[in-house]
């Protein structure tokens, strides 16, 4: 009798459960989820996973990587930067420099926006003026004084002072060209209703979950091969690899170092690796004792073994750094010798500096797991030379605020020279006018470096610029305001059937050329 009852209870439980399940599926307009995937004929829907949701698809409203990765597919810039960091025409057909501060751009004709409007010089002026108004991205175009419309397909950009890296800046995703009408119509909601000229147009954004894009058939370079692209937000690194393995994802950005082997050795998967423009460093507060002593800073450099960090934290996915800007950045100084791992020398330097018995200090980091690991290794290595370090993980908000105020001793941060130009990579980090929130959180001050950085900024001649930046790098490395660790190798995992995927060193990869086998 009780058996019977048990059965009924279980049955009803299952029924309740099933009822609830069927009653509450999400609103999923696309009939084809694209999941599972292989074997189906002519697959043309690509599912990409990245570790965070985009913030906004208004390129002038935010400057974060997850957003750029999506915006890159929707918009174009006047100038474009190839995966080899070469500057090539984008929406501008050609340009020439009239004088030191005047640039003339000829704009491609017949370029259509996703809303059917044709690209005109007025849209470009509107976009650049809008960037200048935006607090988030104004710093990228701040050199620009005015944009003048000559005719529908010609504009003149004037800079206040000569500005060497102008073209590289006009290739930054934050300088994407938007449509005046679309922006005005959408008002404050433009970030969720983007309209660009790119190969894919925006379809739908499920907040926190995924962004769906669709091929733009009137793309000026010809339609893309894929019909739809979906950017999914998969926070856990391990899960992105799992998604590739189960076939629910076609491409996954930022495979965890430990999972690289799994992807590389999987019969259906490929691991695509390549250099990036990012650099990781341990900063020191140059205004505070004992880091105001150059010898102490050098001792720290000698005590930290970047190779062991690359090996154990990144599983080899990095290259030991010899300068704050990497080899992919213009004017990288490859003659500089990195500080080697030499604890004896470090101890000697500490002794010379008067810290024979070491000292106690703190190292700050945010909750980034890689930085937490670096902190622990650095802590162990500094202990070897007598420096007792306490690790203090801070929330990103207080981390930024308090390092800007100079409350810190040591800290761990990274920097991406997105434009591949040394101005972007060096000026914020080392110019004395940028102390604190400007980016120079080491509070490094050196008149010579300031001079070279300014020189490189205003010079137009490439060779002259290169010379200034190489000298600046030399002094920076010699003075050791920070301990530069490595340039990270970036990776993407993908199904083997995915073809034509190329890594862009800046981290926002174009999907235009991608197709399925």
Report whether 113 contacts 195 (CB < 8 A). yes
Centroid of chain to Cα 484? 18
Q: Residues 37, 45, 63, 124: which binds another protein (CB under 8 A)? A: 63
| By CB under 8 A, residue 210 contacts another protein | yes
Query: Which of positions 238-257 make contact with another protein (CB under 8 A)?
Result: 238-239, 242-243, 245-246, 248, 256
State the DSSP string of 409-450: SEEEEEEE-TTS-HHHHHHHHH-GGGBGGGSBTT----HHHH
Cβ 342 to another protein shortest distance, Å:
18
Interface with another protein by CB under 8 A: which range of 10-18, 85-93, 108-116, 178-186? 10-18
Q: Residues 29, 86, 110, 207: which binds another protein (CB under 8 A)? A: 207
Query: Which of positions 349-388 make contact with another protein (CB under 8 A)?
Result: 367, 369, 372-373, 375-377, 379-380
Tally of CB atoms within 10 A around 192: 15
**Helical H segments across 137-293, by residue range:** 138-141, 166-169, 180-186, 237-246, 260-265
Cβ 496 to another protein shortest distance, Å:
18
In DSSP terms, which residues pair with 94 in a beta bridge? 106
Total residues at the site for another protein (CB under 8 A)?
88
First to last CA, the chain: 61
| By CB under 8 A, residue 398 contacts another protein | yes
Please, what is the Cα angle at 253 between 248 and 257, to 5 degrees?
105
Interface with another protein by CB under 8 A: which range of 8-16, 278-286, 349-357, 501-509? 8-16
Reported residue count of the chain is 517
Question: What's the per-residue H, E or C state across 251-266?
Answer: EEECCCHHHHHHHHHC
State the DSSP string of 377-405: HHHHHHHHTTEEEEEEE--HHHHHHHHHT
Interface with another protein by CB under 8 A: which range of 12-20, 78-86, 175-183, 326-334? 12-20
Query: Which of positions 413-432 make contact with another protein (CB under 8 A)?
Result: 413, 415, 428
Q: Residues 82, 97, 115, 308: which binds another protein (CB under 8 A)? A: 308
Query: Which of positions 120-159 make contact with another protein (CB under 8 A)?
Result: 135-136, 138-139
Interface with another protein by CB under 8 A: which range of 184-192, 319-327, 451-459, 463-471? 184-192
The two three-digit tokens of residue 433, written as one number: 């006018």
Comparison of 60 and 108: residue with beta carbon closer to another protein: 60
Cβ 129 to another protein shortest distance, Å:
17
Q: Residues 133, 151, 209, 344: which binds another protein (CB under 8 A)? A: 209
């Amino acid at each position: 009798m009780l058996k019977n009852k048990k059965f009924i209870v279980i049955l009803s439980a299952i029924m309740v459960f099933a009822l609830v399940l069927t009653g509450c599926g999400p609103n999923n307009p696309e009939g084809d989820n694209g999941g599972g995937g292989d074997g189906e004929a002519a697959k043309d829907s690509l599912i990409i996973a990245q570790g965070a949701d985009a913030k906004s698809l208004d390129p002038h409203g935010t400057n974060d990587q997850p957003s750029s990765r999506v915006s890159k597919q929707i918009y174009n810039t006047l100038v474009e930067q190839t995966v080899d960091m070469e500057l090539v025409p984008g929406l501008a057909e050609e340009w020439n420099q009239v004088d030191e501060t005047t640039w003339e751009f000829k704009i491609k004709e017949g370029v259509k926006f996703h809303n059917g409007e044709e690209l005109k010089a007025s849209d470009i002026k509107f976009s650049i003026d809008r960037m200048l108004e935006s607090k988030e991205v104004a710093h990228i175009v701040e050199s620009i004084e005015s944009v003048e419309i000559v005719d529908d397909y010609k504009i003149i950009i004037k800079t206040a002072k000569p500005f060497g890296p102008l073209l590289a800046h006009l290739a930054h995703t934050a300088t994407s060209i938007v449509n005046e009408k679309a922006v005005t119509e959408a008002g404050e909601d433009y970030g969720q209703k983007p309209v660009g000229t790119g190969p894919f147009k925006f379809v739908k954004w499920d907040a926190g979950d995924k962004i769906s894009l669709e091929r733009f058939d009137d793309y000026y370079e010809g339609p893309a091969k894929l019909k739809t692209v979906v950017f999914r937000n998969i926070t856990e690194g391990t899960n992105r690899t799992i998604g590739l393995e189960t076939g629910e994802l076609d491409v996954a950005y930022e495979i965890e170092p430990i999972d690289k082997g799994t992807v590389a050795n999987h019969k259906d998967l490929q691991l695509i690796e390549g250099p990036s423009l990012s650099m990781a460093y341990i900063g020191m507060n140059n205004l505070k004792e004992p880091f105001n002593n150059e010898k102490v800073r050098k001792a720290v450099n000698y005590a930290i073994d970047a190779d062991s960090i690359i090996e154990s934290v990144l599983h080899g996915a990095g290259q030991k750094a010899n300068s704050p800007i990497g080899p992919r950045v213009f004017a990288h100084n490859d003659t500089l010798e990195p500080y080697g791992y030499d604890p004896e020398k470090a101890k000697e330097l500490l002794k010379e500096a008067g810290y024979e018995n070491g000292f106690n200090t703190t190292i700050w980091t945010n909750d980034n797991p890689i930085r937490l690991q670096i902190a622990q290794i650095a802590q162990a290595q500094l202990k070897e030379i007598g420096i007792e370090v306490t690790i203090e993980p801070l929330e990103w908000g207080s981390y930024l605020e308090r390092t800007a105020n100079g409350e810190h001793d040591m800290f761990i941060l990274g920097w991406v020279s997105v434009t591949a130009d040394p101005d972007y990579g060096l000026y914020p980090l080392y110019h004395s006018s940028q102390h604190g929130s400007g980016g120079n959180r080491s509070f490094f001050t050196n008149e010579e470096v300031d001079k070279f950085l300014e020189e490189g900024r205003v010079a137009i001649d490439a060779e002259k610029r290169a010379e200034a930046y190489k000298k600046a790098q030399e002094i920076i490395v010699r003075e050791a305001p920070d301990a530069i660790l490595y340039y990270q190798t970036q990776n993407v995992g993908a199904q083997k059937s995915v073809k034509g995927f190329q890594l862009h060193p800046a981290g926002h990869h174009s999907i235009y050329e991608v197709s399925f086998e």
